[in-house]
Chain A
Amino acid sequence: MKNFRLFFCAQIILVLMIAAPLSAFEFSEIEKQIVEYKLDNGLTFIILPRHDAPVVTFITHVDAGCVDDPMGSMGMAHMFEHMAFKGTREIGTTDIKKELKWIDEEDRIFELILNERSKGELADSAVLASLDEQLAAAADSSDQYVLTNEFGQIVEREGGIGMNAGTSYDGTVYYIEYPSNRLELWMAMESDRFANPVLRQLYKEKQVIAEERRFRITSSPTGKLFLNEFLGLAFNSHPYGKSMVGEMEEIENYNRPVMRRQLATHYVPRNMAIGIVGDVDPDEVIRLAKKYFGRLADQPKPRPVMITEEPPFGIRSSTIYENAQPMFIMGYHIPSGRDADFIALDALASYLGSGRTSALYKNLVKDKKSAVQVSAFTGFPGEKYETLFGVFCIPSNDFTNAENEAMVLAEIEKVRTETISDSDLEKIKAKARSGLINALASNTGMAVRLTDYYFLKGDWRELFKDLERVNALTVDDLKRVAHKYLDPDKRVVAYLEKPVEGESN
């Protein structure tokens, strides 16, 4: 009795608190501090000064990702992301002329290798072996002029931290943080690596990429499940279904001419945006940006992928049998992150599977204890094109994938036919607001968000507008999109199951 009364009071107090007007913090104050500047060549800078500490984050966002890879060279965007750390005509070499001579020789030999390989079964293995040797010799010759990893070494020596890059289906992002007085150094190096990339040590780096592929996909049960089976199943025609790292054979056939063509069309200023958040003066940033990035030649922005994935006509499923933790991932086709319905779908994912009070977590993990982990998401594998609404679940030891899937489907059926409570919707709104405020505390978090929105929705201001859109959502919006998109008969599911006894592989 006593307990019940306490709970009742707690609820009333919470409702009152939510109803109270939100306090002084205004996002518009932050918006006013953000400076956007577009160079003549079309390269956009988005700058948020923040003088809390003398440090700054630089994000270079290139609107070219795995979806833009040429046929037969999937994974090229990711490969170039590696090559971007290999230096320039000035950085990473003791003699650029001699090095380039041998680099051309590497390419000449590799062209012969490709010609021979293209014969398939008829290829002469003795010829290939001899060409491989010649290629290795040419690579050794060019290597003698290489200052291996000098680009990264300079960054580290000058106090840069967190230098990294990531390639996704939608784009490629380069990260770095510096003490803020290294602004000009970053301008010089970053513009140089995209204006004058040398693509040195390419044939060695392919082996590194092959190891990365083994690491991420073929040696990892979750890698196989998510990237290979699930996405391959969900996307028949759109490149979201292709391998991000490329197939092994594609990696083996990567070559400089293809990569150079890809760079010439996709690493162009109109296809790039730079986010700078930290202890900088925007005027100084713009002055230096003109000086260093102004040299990149203006070229048209490449066209996006113009294939729309047709949602499935039925249920598609795939099962991997492996001696690992059983799990499954389920997806429904939904429109891209640019569509007006996306906000409601995202809120729905939050309601169903984000946090301890989400519907799926409460039902499967807390109450039935049939799962140890369950989450719902939108925007995998990307947001720029028609994408997926998904649920990922790890059953607990005594429950099966099938039992949990049935419970997930039942929970999804509920949101398609019934409206969620107002207090649940308020929770989603509160989470969105505090999430954005927390993001403001991180230079990197903000720089990433601003450039993401710039390409996804054409304007970084959409970041703040989206929060207003979340605040305007109604419970009927969620029910409507659930009903429209989460059709159980058109879902895609990939399972990881233990091998059946007696049929060991």
Chain B
Amino acid sequence: MDVPFRPSARALARERPPSRHIDLTLALCTGGLVVLGILMVYSATHRSLAEFGQNPTYYVRKQVLALAIGLVALAVATFLDYRLFKVYAPFLYLAGIVLLIAVRTPLGSSALGAQRWFQVPGFQFSPSQFMRLALIVMLAAILSEAKGDLALGQIIRLTVLAAVPIALVFIQPDIGTAIIMAFILVALLVVAGSKTRYLLALALAAALAIFGAFQLHIVKDYQVARLTSFLQPSKDFQAANYNKRQAEIAVGSGGITGRGYLHGPQTNLDFVPQQHTDFIFTVIGEEFGFLGAVAVLMLFLLILWRAYRIALTSKDPFGTFVAVGVGAMLAIQIFVNVGMTVGIMPITGIPLPFISYGGSALIADLIGVGLLMNVQMRRFM
């Protein structure tokens, strides 16, 4: 009796084009969050724009434009085979370093006491946001070639590779992005397998470096004030603590169900500074309450869960490390951003992925999602 040939599920999957394996959960969560982001940016800005006689959709329109570019970038990052990135990783890394240096020159423009952007028609291009991705790809490319636990020499080499862009963004100063990149490094080193004592030594070195940065006054006074006001809330009532206080009031006054979309008085009256960028979670907290805030956190957690699954199911180590890097990049942003909004983390300028106003960060995070999808849909190839 002829036993009919029954191809395995895996073999069947391999025969379908990769686009058939798009991660729907990841796509839906990301889509939900970017739409929410547009709504939140409108809520955070329309009232004060109208106060100043501006078009209330000014920020929203710019953000929608960035979103469109970001979606295109996501598509590109999804459909180019991710293994290509492994090949071009050194070029991407070097390009990022060059841009970070160029932004320090008169080519870059500064605002709010920091020099971070290139002014391009329409919006500002911030190379540090893309450096995060280049760093992930670069570290993943090296780690994917490593065998067994990492040797000390390898760890030092990886650390130096990461330390260069970290130092460059740190002096911009953009402590937030420096923290993100440092966390990416640590997460990748952990997953690749590093001895605990090496990691401890690394932490010690980082602490010494940060101490040195303070001593050399590379860190601006306002940044020191923000950080120390977190550590010593009794030195209260000063401008440094105002942000934290107002954010807590906005979030706390939202209660369980919130004040309703566009009905948050703290938001509408501009009490929370930078509420469309770093403090946008206060708008969610005030207008949608505890339930809304937790729902948003759940969407983020779903994305991170997908990154975890994708890292585990990746066909090759490079895919695993890319997924871990992107997951770590998103996780640390979410934690530090929401953490500072609710007063359990110091105030550092880290935007909330997909939601905060800011084109470069949105595009970079969407490219990160594209990379995840890329690894996911090519897991059988």
Whether both chains belong to one complex is answered with no
